[in-house]
Structure 1
Amino acid sequence: MQASVSSPRGESRAAKAARDVIEGVTNYPVWATFAWQDIRQRYKRSVLGPFWITLTMLVTIAGMGPLYGALFKIDLHTFVPYLALGIITWGLLSSLILDGCACFSAVETVVRSVRLPLTLHVMRAMWRNFVMFGHNILAYVPIMLFLGIAPKWTWLMAIPGALLVLLAAFPASIILGIFCTRFRDMQPIVGSIVQLAFFLTPIIWKPEALGERAYLASFNPLAVFMEIVRGPIYGTIPSQNIYLGAIGITVVLYLIAAPLFVRFRSRIAFWI
């Protein structure tokens, strides 16, 4: 692993933060290796490994699909793919948020003992969750076979959507990582908010169920990022406003994360 180069004397905090970001993001061999080690360690003694999560998602979809389809009186051929893609995408969004809270505190030994860019640990958490999402999407294959859903070229639109999610996850992880490292009570609070957000985000329900208030769903940032990934695969290409909303949220996150990281980057190791 390559340790970061010692900073020149007299270098400003902004320059140090910028160099941290550049070195952390571009040091792919280190954060990718760390991410793979995290996955292997988590499922070291498991027969199915991370595919346990995929299997759990499939069982959840199989149980919730017919139930909520009947409750909302929606045809299963329409509702089950919507629910399946919603749960799979939510797995990515929620894990990025929760792991973002612990992106620094969970690796306190490394932060204290090795001089590495702090943003490298952010990339490590993001890449770990993106790999998990890559095999969790396989839970959709049995549903495709059962319902006779054929792949379409429009599905490729989900790729830029997923990349935009990761682009937004970077500053969000920095913001959450800083606050949850400084105030340890914030991490369980964020976890509770994420649990509540599951029911407030159109995953097991459709915005149309709100009737005249369907527009309220678009004010949920998680619903916006959910749609740019789920929509193309489900068969509804997100509107221009959805993409503009996702880009706008991403820009705001960077505007918040940048000054926070510049000011508190040097204190994170002491807070840990």
Structure 2
Amino acid sequence: MHRGAFLLVLAVLLGGCGAPLKQLSEEAQLTSREVRVLATTPFPLQAVLPRRVEGSSLRVYLEGDGYAWATPTQPSLDPTPRDLLVARLATLDPLGAVYLARPCQFVEHPGCKPLLWTDQRFSRPVLNSLHAALDQLKQRYGVRRLELVGYSGGGALALLLAAERNDVVAVQTLAGNLHPSAWIAHHRLTPLTGSLEPLAYRERLRQIPQRHLTGQRDKVVPPPLAYQYAGSLGPADCLEIRTVDATHSEGWETAWAGFRQRPLVCAPAQKP
């Protein structure tokens, strides 16, 4: 490799998530929150923690897939999100919510390989670390119940986590990838080898209150996919789908402000 190219790659590897982590720390300081790495297995997870929470349940925001791909065909070397949308939503939440990043975002680890944020983004190791983090957070804040808010690919993980736990009282998603196999088919992509599918737990998910917000201008996870998920899920106890004025990455601060403290409407999904 040419010396100049080598130095460029080395700078990327060493610099990696430095700038986003600095920005994350600044966002946390503005709202008197703490940036902490949670020691979970198999991957440590970056979190932003409030000093206290309101109410008897804890709201946890789950990050999306982040900067998973450098190009349409080349995985990135570092999946840390460049836009800290989800962290901003969490720090602005008046309930005192937690922001939880995905494995290998903001944090370096020997096990961080591109497969983990591409084909295996919804895999068992990812879920195991997130489960461990949720257990730690419950103990830290002395709560028994959780509400999960997932953005984009974090929506699939929120559903998977809720399906495997008995302490999640509600799931809300923003531009959520609820049905990964349908999303793959829609974009004509290669199937995600090694990832789990939320609808494999459909019987359990039918019992969990959930609200899914879709962006009417979202071309990454377009609204029809949410209704495809609802149709595949079948009769649910409490399922709400709403379309808002947003793209995949823009408009969510305003849209979410109108829903974050609104009780879920426990009725089958109806198209707006």
TM > 0.5: no
Query: What TM-score do the two structures reach when normalised by structure 1?
Result: 0.24
More strand as a share of residues: 2
Larger Rg: 1
More helix as a share of residues: 1
Query: What TM-score do the two structures reach when normalised by structure 2?
Result: 0.24
